[in-house]
Structure 1
């Protein structure tokens, strides 16, 4: 089968509700946590997630911005992303990437106190789709 392009993966990733975001903790261990994957957005190698300022995730990204994302779909479809994360506290940037579905976790939307946006820019994407697998370097 021909190598998939990022647009092909994007179509399949829309069906996945949760991504696992992994960071490096203070002790050098890997820490993972589920994050809402906005299925309405076309994946172009950059992902956006929201959290609170006091979450361990924020401090871990500040200490080491190299992160990983894992997406698990149906029928053996999975995507592993390596990337660089950066944090934003800019309300205008947050508004560009906000989805009404996030209101269930952040009752005041982007005006929720201590909200932080995590941007993950992929450097490598590996996928599995049944027996087909491949890698996209960005």
Structure 2
């Protein structure tokens, strides 16, 4: 596996939206669920996901911020991200990452009670695509 730049991996990720978002649960098990980055795909090592503060993944992150993200592209691309997550509850941050499609999930937009934004800061990103593979480490 060769060293890669974050920019070269970001180009590969440009059209990937859905990630398998994995957290460590309260009993030490792993919990995974599909999450959309809502088209916020200009990847700079940070990923953003909206949820509600009452979601189990939020309590998982508050207890243990180590997470992983898994992406898969139609062209045989697989990307694994490991990093640290944080829970953001700041309206300015919500507005910076909001897209109109989110109104389908959150009735009051950025004013939805209990809205939370999850930020995942990558520590390591690995990709595989056929014979090609690479890795970026923060």
TM over 0.5: yes
Q: Is the 8 A contact 1:19 1:36 kept in 2?
A: yes
Paired position in structure 2 for 1:134: 134
CA RMSD of aligned residues (A): 1.7
Number of equivalent positions: 138
Q: Which runs of 4+ in 1 moved over 2 A?
A: 2-5, 37-41
Paired position in structure 2 for 1:65: 65
TM-score by length of 2: 0.92
Q: Distance in 1 between matches of 2:17 and 2:81?
A: 16
Measure how far apart 1:3 and its partner are.
Answer: 5.0
Which sections of structure 1, spanning at least 5 residues, go unmatched?
none
TM-score by length of 1: 0.92
The CA deviation string for residues 27-74 of structure 1, in whole angstroms up to 9 with x for no partner, is 110000111123343100001111011100010000000000001112
Which sections of structure 2, spanning at least 5 residues, go unmatched?
none
Q: Is the 8 A contact 1:75 1:130 kept in 2?
A: no
Alignment of 1:56-95 (within 5 A): 56-95=56-95
Paired position in structure 2 for 1:98: 98
